[in-house]
Amino acid sequence: MTGKIFVGILVFMIVFAAAGLVLINEGVLPDQELNGTGRMQIEARAQLGRSIEAGALLYLNNCATCHGPNGDGIAGKGPVLNPGLFTQHFPEVKASGYGGTLRDYVKMTLIAGRPVQSEWAAAQGGYAQRMPTWSQQVGGPLRDDQITDLTNFVMNWETEAAAGPSVPLDFKPVGSDTTTPLPAGDAARGADLFAQKVKAGNNSNLPCKACHSLQPGQILVGPSVAGIGTTAAAREPGKSAEEYIRESIQDPNAYIVPDNPTYLAGGKSTMPAGLGNSMTEQDLADIIAYLASLK
Ligand code: HEC
Ligand code: HEC
């Protein structure tokens, strides 16, 4: 009986692999370097840029809960993609005889997921859930063009990874503990963090503005933050605006804004958990001070 199940899984995976190869060969965007200056190359580069942007939003919505908003991994949920995949794991995979490119590897993993935990993942301490299957071709939720956008987004980290670790060695994330004392916040710097004019402590842009508009009532993915300094004080009895905003960022599932069903997916907030892993205590204090000032 177990033998049959095993053969079943094997056949399943071979079908996945075949479907994957067809998709890769039909890839919408070229795999080669886009460093030319001709009209075609410029257009292709602009197209790649748009694809990476679309991939970034798909990533935040579908992947950040397990791999962290910046690909830095979440213990027990998903491995580090940025930079571990590029600097460590793929070189190992290559050394063990894998014949494809890094791009094939990323795209294949996305298309088929890993319905069976790999030995490598088990050796990392294991993850509670499997990497889901994403392509509609094999029963997942995403279209081919969305898989391509996500692949382009993940591959874009390779350039960063090659430049060496960009996270400062003394970076200390504030994490998800909402009780650690915070320094005084600087609302002006918080505004710059929100607008991505300055980077957070781990040297990345905070993704807030991709989901939160400053226009009253405009829903991007989450609610508009116009007037949040006032709304926040009324959300949860006994919590000040600052306390509520802090909880929203470090622990999005503690309270879900009730106005809109799209704020929930699979019973969880569609706001990624783990944003505190990109921020220092000062970053968090500053962004809270900024949002609380939006009366
Ligand atoms: C439910 C948690 C979960 C979600 C959601 C998830 N992943 Fe994964 N991902 C994993 C796990 C666990 C692994 C390791 C699987 C293994 O090797 O068995 C993994 C592996 C990967 C790998 C291969 C890493 C390597 O070094 O081999 C890539 C690339 C990847 N995921 C990208 C994504 C992208 C892009 C998304 C969003 C479309 C996503 N994942 C969503 C859990 C998740
Ligand atoms: C992928 C989209 C997404 C990103 C990125 C995101 N959020 Fe959210 N956010 C949401 C959604 C959806 C909600 C509503 C559901 C909930 O309550 O968790 C929300 C709720 C909030 C709330 C409560 C709003 C209210 O009206 O009560 C605050 C405050 C907030 N987010 C701040 C932030 C900050 C600050 C960042 C960046 C550090 C951020 N968010 C990044 C999607 C996102």
In the predicted structure, residue 20 carries a pLDDT above the cut 90 = no
Nearest alpha carbon, ligand 1 atom 25: 85
Span 128-141, average pLDDT: 94
26 pLDDT band, cuts 50/70/90, is very low
Q: Is 68's C-beta closer than 6 angstroms to any atom of ligand 2?
A: no
Residue 51 vs residue 34, higher pLDDT: 51
Question: Do 167 and 82 meet the contact criterion of CB atoms below 8 Å apart?
Answer: no
Mean pLDDT over 65-94 rounds to 90
Name the residue with the closest Cα to ligand 1, atom 22: 109
Pick 94 or 225 by higher pLDDT.
225
Rounded to an integer, what distance in angstroms lies between the CA atom of residue 187 and that of residue 295?
13
Q: Which residues are within 8 A (CB) of 153 and not within 5 positions of it... i.e. 6 or more apart?
A: 51, 52, 54, 55, 56, 58, 59
Note whether 8-162 and 187-292 share their fold: yes
Pocket-forming residues, ligand 1, beta carbon under 6 Å: 59, 62-63, 65-67, 77-79, 81, 85, 89, 106, 109-110, 114, 117-118, 120-121, 127, 129, 131-132, 134, 150, 154
pLDDT of the residue at 25:
46
Q: 32 versus 110: which is more confidently predicted?
A: 110
Q: Which residue's alpha carbon is at the smallest distance from atom 10 of ligand 1?
A: 131
Domain 187-292: homologous superfamily in CATH: Cytochrome c-like domain (1.10.760.10)
Burial class (CB in 10 A: 0-12, 13-18, 19+), 106: buried
Q: Is it the case that residue 111 has pLDDT exceeding 70?
A: yes
Q: Give the number of the ligand closest to the Cα of residue 285.
A: 2
- The yes-or-no verdict on residue 290 having pLDDT over 80 is yes
Question: Which of the pair, 87 or 187, is modelled with greater confidence?
Answer: 187
Distance 67 CA to ligand 1 centre (A): 7
Is the confidence at residue 6, as pLDDT, over 80?
A: no
> What would the two tokens of residue 93 be?
């995979």
Our mutation pick for probing the ligand 1 site, out of 109, 130, 133, 149, counting the most ligand atoms within 8 A of Cβ, is 109
- Count CB-CB contacts under 10 A for residue 158: 18
Residue of 199, 251, 253, 271 to mutate, ligand 2, most atoms within 8 A of C-beta:
271
Say whether pLDDT at 28 is over 70.
no
Nearest ligand 1 atom, CA 151: 35
Q: Looking at the structure, give the CATH architecture of the domain made up of residues 8-162.
A: Orthogonal Bundle (1.10)
Q: How far apart are CA 26 and CA 290, in angstroms?
A: 46
Ligand 1 atom nearest the C-alpha of 62 is: 37
Least confident segment among 40-49, 85-94, 217-226: 40-49
Q: Is 286 exposed, middle or buried (0-12, 13-18, 19+ CB in 10 A)?
A: buried
Residue 67, ligand 2, Cβ within 6 A: no
Q: Which of 110, 131, 152 to mutate to test the pocket of ligand 1 (most atoms within 8 A of CB)?
A: 131
Question: Atom 36 in ligand 1: which residue has the minimum CA distance?
Answer: 63
What are the structural domain ranges in the chain? 8-162, 187-292
pTM, to two decimals: 0.57
Mean local confidence (pLDDT), 219-240:
95
Ligand whose nearest atom lies closest to the CA of 271: 2
Higher pLDDT: 161 or 182? It is 182
**The pLDDT value given to residue 266:** 80
Cis bond upstream, residue 30 (ω within 30):
no
pLDDT above 70 (res 70): yes
**Cα angle 49, 51, 56; round to 5:** 95
What distance in Å separates the CA atoms of residue 161 and residue 86, rounded to the nearest whole number? 7
Which of 23-27, 93-97, 148-152, 156-160 is the least confident region?
A: 23-27
